[in-house]
Amino acid sequence: MKNAEAIRKKLDEVKKMKSYTGAVSALTDVTFEIGIDACHERNEHRREIEKLREDVIMLRCIILGDGKPEDSVLARLARVETCTNEIQSTLETIEENLKGGYDTEGLIEQLRTLKKMGDNIRKLTWIIVSIFIGEVILALIGIL
């Protein structure tokens, strides 16, 4: 009885009945079938809502670190940013030392090493952000 056409057909049959008890009995059956269908639909909606709830919990665990804030994506990105700031500070110090006439060969090698580290950290940051965005998109697709 999931579609209106089937219900309409049953009700038209009830209207044609000459016996009141038969019509009441048929209406009772139609009402019962509609109620059973509604219960099944509610159960399906409950399952969908539960799946949605599980997906939200999973996303929250990914973003917030599952009860360990230091493991969250946000905390890890903050550590990467802190590291990048330290590299920037070191680069500025090296630049000042180069202007001051210190051991330029050693400082240039340090500068190259730090530049490579900064580039790698920047790449790693984008990889982490891409993975995070991908997980969010996959979770949203799974919800739909």
Domains of the chain: which residue ranges? 1-64, 68-144
**Tens of each residue's pLDDT in the chain, 144 residues:** 467 788 888 888 888 888 888 888 888 888 888 888 888 888 888 888 888 888 888 777 777 766 677 777 777 788 888 888 888 888 888 777 777 666 666 767 777 888 888 888 888 888 888 888 887 888 777 776
**Cβ neighbourhood burial of 10 (10 Å; 0-12, 13-18, 19+):** middle
Distance CA 52, CA 60 (A): 12
pLDDT of res. 1: 46
pLDDT of res. 61: 75
Closest residue by Cα to residue 77 from 36, 38, 124 = 124
pLDDT of res. 86: 85
Distance CA 78, CA 69 (A): 12
Question: pTM of this prediction?
Answer: 0.42
Distance CA 75, CA 11 (A): 63
Q: How many other C-beta atoms lie within 10 A of the C-beta of residue 122?
A: 13
Distance CA 18, CA 63 (A): 66
pLDDT of res. 25: 86
SS (H, E, C) 73-108: HHHHHHHHHHHHHHHHHHHHHHHHHHHHCCCHHHHH
Distance CA 58, CA 139 (A): 9
Q: How many other C-beta atoms lie within 10 A of the C-beta of residue 12?
A: 9
Q: How many other C-beta atoms lie within 10 A of the C-beta of residue 121?
A: 15
Distance CA 88, CA 36 (A): 67
Q: What is the DSSP letter of 70?
A: G
